[in-house]
C-alpha cells in the first residue's frame, strides 16, 4: 500500500461532504475545510455539528425529549459558528491514522491554518491519549481543548500469544466450517466495485444513518486500484461477493474504513464471519487493529479494549470571548468522562 492518496475533488468521493480537501506539507497531510453553509445530511467526518448533535439526535429519535434537547444544543453550536471548522490530518474516513512523519507535521500545519483562517475553528480528530501523547501536549500548549468524541476498540495482535475469547473462537470456527473464499485484493474490476459500493450503502446508509459518508463508486475505485488500501472479499459458493472490508495500514496499525455485507445472503452470522476474517488477517500480519466505534458489546465480547477518542479544537482567532468560554466549559465538564460512562450509554 502507498501513503500517497490520489488528489481529487472531495465531492467526487463523498457526495455529502460539504467540504473541500487540501493536502499540505512535505508528507501531504489532508485538511478538510467545511463549507460555511451545510447541505442536508452533511457527513459527520467534516462537520462537528453533524457528528456531535445531528447523529446523536438521530440515535435518540425514539426519545423525543432527549432528541429535542440535543437538537437545541446543535442550534446553539451553529450560532457559535461551529460549521466553520477546519480539520487537520482529516482523511475522508471515520478513523484517520498517520505515519510518524505526518504526525510530526500536524502541529506546524495546524499553526499555519490558524494564522490563515482566523474566522475558523481548527481541529484534529481521532486523537487517543495513549497513542498520541506528544501531539496532544503540543496542541494543548497552543490553546486546543479536548472534547471526547466516541469510544473506539483496539485489538492488539502484534504478539503471538493473544488470548481468544469464547465468542471469537466460535466466529473463527464458523468461518472455517463454511469454507468460504476469503481474499485480500489489491485490484478490483468494475463489477466488484459496484457490488461493494452497494453493500456499503445497505449497511452504513440504509441500515444506520445518511450522516455517514456517502461514498461514490469512484472512491472505492481510487483507494483500492491506486494502492491506498487493500480490500478483503468474502465470496459464496456461487463466487458472488457477500461481504467486504477495506483495509488501511499505517506502520503497524490497521483500520477498516468501510465494510458491508449482504443482509439477504443465506450466510449464518454474516457480520461474525466478516470480523473473523478481518481478525485473522490482522493476526497473521501482527498488527494493531483499530476497529473504530460502534457495536461495542460485540467487540468487547471478542477481546476489544475500549478507549476514549478525542477531537481537539481551538476557537477562531477572531472569536468573541463567549465562544472561548463555552468551549472551555464543555471541555471542563467532559474532562471527567470515562470509557465506562459512554459504554453505559451504549458505546
- How far is residue 282 from each of residues 124, 252, 269, measured CA to CA in Å? 27, 10, 20
Residue 59 has pLDDT above 80, yes or no: no
What is the tens place of the pLDDT at every residue in 160-207?
Answer: 888 999 999 999 999 999 889 999 999 999 999 999 999 999 999 998
pLDDT, position 254: 97
What is the tens place of the pLDDT at every residue in 289-330?
Answer: 999 999 999 999 999 999 999 999 999 987 768 888 888 888
Nine-digit cell string for 26: 512535505
Q: Please, which pLDDT band fits residue 264 given cuts at 50, 70 and 90?
A: confident
Decide: 331 and 186 in contact? Cβ < 8 Å.
no
Q: Please, which pLDDT band fits residue 73 given cuts at 50, 70 and 90?
A: confident
Counting beta carbons within 10 angstroms of the beta carbon of residue 14, is it exposed (0 to 12), middle (13 to 18) or buried (19 or more)?
buried
Indicate the domain borders of the chain. 10-149+309-344, 155-301
Which candidate, 89, 88, 59, 85, places its Cα nearest to that of 71?
Answer: 59
Among 28-42, 114-128, 178-192, 259-273, whose mean pLDDT is lowest? Answer: 259-273
- Mean pLDDT, range 86-102, rounded to an integer: 95
CA R_g for the chain = 20
Distance CA 343, CA 77 (A): 25
Distance CA 222, CA 219 (A): 5
Question: For the chain, what is the mean pLDDT?
Answer: 91
Residue 268 has pLDDT above 70, yes or no: no
Decide: 226 and 248 in contact? Cβ < 8 Å.
no
Q: Please, which pLDDT band fits residue 8 given cuts at 50, 70 and 90?
A: very high
155-301 folds as Aminopeptidase (3.40.630)
The DSSP element (H or E) to which 121 belongs, if any, is: strand 121-127
Distance CA 1, CA 197 (A): 21
Residue 345 has pLDDT above 90, yes or no: no
Amino acid at each position: 500500500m502507498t501513503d500517497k492518496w490520489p488528489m481529487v475533488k472531495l465531492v467526487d468521493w463523498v457526495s455529502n461532504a460539504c467540504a473541500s480537501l487540501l493536502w499540505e506539507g512535505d508528507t501531504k497531510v489532508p485538511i478538510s475545510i467545511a463549507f460555511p453553509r451545510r447541505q442536508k445530511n452533511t457527513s459527520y467526518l467534516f462537520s462537528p455539528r453533524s457528528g456531535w448533535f445531528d447523529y446523536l439526535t438521530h440515535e435518540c429519535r425514539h426519545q423525543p425529549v432527549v432528541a429535542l434537547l440535543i437538537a437545541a444544543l446543535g442550534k446553539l453550536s451553529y450560532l457559535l459558528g461551529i460549521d466553520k471548522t477546519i480539520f487537520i490530518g482529516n482523511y475522508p474516513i471515520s478513523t484517520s491514522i498517520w505515519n510518524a512523519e505526518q504526525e510530526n507535521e500536524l502541529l506546524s500545519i495546524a499553526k499555519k491554518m490558524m494564522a490563515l483562517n482566523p474566522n475558523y475553528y481548527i481541529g484534529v480528530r481521532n486523537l487517543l491519549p495513549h497513542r498520541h501523547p506528544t501531539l496532544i501536549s503540543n496542541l494543548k500548549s497552543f490553546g486546543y481543548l479536548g472534547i471526547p468524541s466516541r469510544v473506539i476498540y483496539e485489538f492488539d495482535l502484534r504478539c503471538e500469544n493473544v488470548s481468544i475469547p469464547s465468542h471469537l473462537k466460535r466466529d473463527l470456527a464458523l468461518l472455517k466450517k463454511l469454507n468460504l473464499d476469503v481474499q485480500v485484493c489489491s485490484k478490483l474490476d468494475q463489477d466488484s466495485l459496484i457490488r461493494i459500493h452497494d453493500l456499503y450503502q445497505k449497511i452504513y446508509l440504509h441500515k444506520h444513518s445518511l450522516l455517514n459518508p456517502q461514498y461514490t463508486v469512484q472512491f472505492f475505485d481510487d483507494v483500492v486500484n491506486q494502492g491506498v488500501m487493500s480490500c478483503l472479499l468474502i465470496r459464496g459458493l456461487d463466487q458472488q461477493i457477500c461481504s467486504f472490508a477495506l483495509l488501511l495500514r499505517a506502520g503497524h496499525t490497521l483500520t477498516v474504513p468501510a465494510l458491508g455485507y449482504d443482509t439477504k445472503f443465506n450466510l449464518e452470522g454474516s457480520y461474525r464471519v466478516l470480523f473473523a476474517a478481518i481478525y485473522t488477517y490482522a493476526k497473521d500480519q501482527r498488527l494493531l487493529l483499530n476497529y473504530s466505534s460502534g457495536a461495542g458489546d460485540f467487540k468487547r465480547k471478542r477481546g476489544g479494549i475500549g478507549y476514549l477518542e478525542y477531537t481537539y479544537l481551538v476557537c477562531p482567532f477572531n472569536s468573541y470571548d463567549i465562544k472561548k468560554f463555552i468551549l472551555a466549559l464543555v471541555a471542563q465538564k467532559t474532562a471527567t468522562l470515562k470509557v465506562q460512562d459512554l459504554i453505559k450509554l451504549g458505546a
